[in-house]
Amino acid sequence: MRRIDTACVIDDDPIFVYGIKKVMKVTNFCDRILVFNDGQEALDNLKEIILINGQLPDVILLDLNMPILDGWQFLEEFIKIPCAKKIIIYIVSSSVDPEDVLRAKSYERVSDYIVKPISVKKMKEILQDFENTFKE
C-alpha cells in the first residue's frame, strides 16, 4: 500500500485552503501540502520542481474558478509537460454544471470531479480511492 507523500492544493479561496488543510490533517491525508493560489503560480512552481528534479506531489486538488490562470487553463498547460511520475488530479469545484462535469471527464488525467464543500468523510473516500489505485 502506498501512502500519499505530497498533496498539492490549487485554490484561491483562503477559507477553503484553511479548511482542506484541517481536513487533511484530521484524516492524516498526507505528509506535506503544497498550496498555490492560482493556476499560474502552480504551473510555474511545478515546472520548477520538474526542472530541478524535486519532489512532485502525488495528488493535485484543482479548483476551476481562479484568477490569472483558471483550472481548465492550468490543466491544458500541465498535461503538456512531460513527467515520469503519475500524478492523480482531482477537480474540486463548487460548480454543479453538467458541462463542467463532462469536460472534466474528457481529461484522461483527471480522476474525479468533487463538488465542494469537501468533508472529512469525502476526504477519507479519496484516500481510499488513492490507496486502491496503487494497490499491487
- Number of chain positions touching another protein (CB under 8 A): 18
CA distance from start to end of the chain: 7
Q: Do residues 57 and 6 make contact, with C-beta atoms less than 8 angstroms apart?
A: yes
Given the rule CB under 8 A, which of 9-17, 30-38, 44-52, 103-111 is the region that contacts another protein? 9-17
Residue 37 DSSP class? S
127 binds another protein (CB under 8 A): no
Q: Determine which residue in the list 3, 48, 120, 134 makes contact with another protein, applying CB under 8 A.
A: 120
Helix (H/G/I), strand (E/B), else coil: 71: helix
Nearer to another protein, 12 or 41 (CB): 12
Residues 76-115 that bind another protein (CB under 8 A): 94-98
Reference 35, options 62, 4, 5; nearest CA is 62
Nearer to another protein, 97 or 131 (CB): 97
The 29-68 contact track toward another protein, x by CB under 8 A, reads ------------------------------------x---
Nearer to another protein, 81 or 120 (CB): 120
Helix (H/G/I), strand (E/B), else coil: 110: strand
Helix (H/G/I), strand (E/B), else coil: 29: coil
CA-based radius of gyration for the chain: 14
- Dig out the grid coordinates for 86 from the structure: 503519475
Residues that bind another protein (CB under 8 A): 13, 15-16, 19, 22-23, 26, 65, 94-98, 116-120
